[in-house]
Chain A
Amino acid sequence: MAQRQFIGGVILALACLTPVHATPPTTAIIGTPPQPEWTSLTPGQREILAPLAREWGNLDHVKRKQWLTSAARYPSMSETDRARFKARMQDWAKMTPEQRAKVRENYKKINTLPSEEKETLRKKWSAYKQLPEEERQGVRERHKSAILLAPPPEPEPRIEDAPAPYDP
């Protein structure tokens, strides 16, 4: 009887360890086998995951497995995606679990938008990042983001091009 209660208690305790959104669920942590150390990775994996070389030792097994899965996906990415992936992975790994959870949440929300709105959003971002650094904050403070899609203002006509004043 005592043993049954013990087993029941173990199951209940594990079930009560509710997964936190920002961190992997306990069941996933328990179910993930140990992942290799940096020195045990293949040369190909080390090349792809090079931006994470310093952090690798501090990553838990779930994250290591996740990055190794991404490394396996990497060769099938386009050139643009590969460049973005490598450029962003280090900052991504340095974010806190809560920050990553927030980014994922916002990304999912954006993906629920109608495709036209998503396209508009991306065009605005593209226009915004082409603004000179010193102008960006001012645009944000003084204008609605719609201005990013407005056609550039017509250049003012030069004096010599202006029509001559009427002189009868």
Chain B
Amino acid sequence: MNEERQAYRIRQALNHGLQDISPAASRRLEAARHLALSRQKQPEYQLVDDLLVTSTGSVVLRGDSGMSAGRRSLLAILALLFGMWLAFHWHSETYVAEIEALDSALLTDDLPPDVLLDQDFLEWLKDNSSEE
């Protein structure tokens, strides 16, 4: 309560003193105010909200990173690209395993690939009807 009263008195005194400020001092004060406003820190544009990659490769949110927006953006893009590459690598492993198993099976089958390629011959072989 005392603090409020004290602040009120200071404000009253300052307002009263305004009448005694010279025009030159008033201009200097105004210039100083403009200067202070121009140096006020602008809010930074953020692409993503403090994305960070941990040592295990997972992406986490972090409050105040202390990094510039540019670095955070770069880190986020790198994390995204790394994640995409991991997904593609996994897909490659799956694809190669499947296609290799299929090719190995057909390359060792009784029916050689050139027979499997000859559609007419294959249909003739598959036809189980007897002679008329």
Contacts and interface: CB of A to CB of B under 8 A. Distances in A.
Interface stretch (B8-16, B26-34, B55-63, B98-106): B98-106
A145 B125 contact: yes
Nearest to B131: A144
A104 B102 contact: yes
A1 B131 CA distance: 74
Contacts of A33: 89
Interface in A33-48: 33
Contact of B131 (A3, A81, A147): A147
Contacts of A120: 128
A147 to B, nearest CB: 6
A146 B111 CA distance: 17
A146 B96 contact: no
Given A4-B47, A7-B80, A31-B90, A88 B112 contact: yes
B88 A27 contact: yes
Interface stretch (B17-25, B35-43, B114-122): B114-122
A155 B100 CA distance: 49
A19 B84 CA distance: 17
B110 A103 contact: no
A28 B108 contact: no
Contacts of B126: 113, 117, 121, 145
Interface of A: 3-4, 7, 11, 14, 24-25, 27-33, 62, 65-66, 69-70, 73, 77, 80-81, 84-85, 88-89, 91-92, 95, 99-100, 102-104, 106-108, 110, 113, 117, 120-122, 124-126, 128, 140, 143-147
* 6 closest A-B pairs by CB: A31-B88, A31-B92, A81-B108, A31-B89, A28-B95, A28-B92
Interface of B: 47, 73, 77, 80, 84-85, 87-93, 95-97, 99-100, 102-117, 119, 121-122, 124-131
Given A14-B84, A29-B92, A145-B125, 20 more contacts: A25-B91, A27-B91, A28-B95, A30-B85, A30-B88, A30-B92, A31-B87, A31-B88, A32-B96, A62-B95, A73-B100, A77-B108, A89-B107, A102-B116, A103-B106, A104-B103, A104-B106, A106-B117, A121-B125, A140-B124
6 contacts: A27-B92, A31-B88, A31-B91, A108-B102, A145-B127, A145-B128
